[in-house]
Amino acid sequence: MANQGTPDNDQVPPAAEQKSNEQPPTREPKPLTISDLEYEQLKKMQQNSRISICALSQRQRI
């Protein structure tokens, strides 16, 4: 059983890192429903982080 546990431990860290890269950080608010004020704030944040660009693009689609 010890041998089976070793490969699992090796696969866990890389998988966790990939999931972290795919999912945006929790700092970003829900882009589904945002008010004009939040939209302007996201626009300003766009210069600091490209994460808000995703929110802006989703807002434009709607």
Range of the domain at 18: 2-61
What is the reported pLDDT for 44? 81
Query: What is the mean pLDDT of each successive set of 10 residues along the chain, which is 62 residues long?
Result: 52 50 57 73 71 60 52
- List own/partner pairs for 23-27 with CB under 8 A and 24 or more apart: 24/51, 24/54, 25/51, 27/51
What is the CB neighbour count within 10 angstroms for residue 52? 23
Closest by CA position to 42, among listed 33, 9, 15: 33
| Rounded CA separation 51/53 (Å) | 5
* Total tally of structural domains belonging to the chain: 1
Q: Is the pTM of this model over 0.85?
A: no
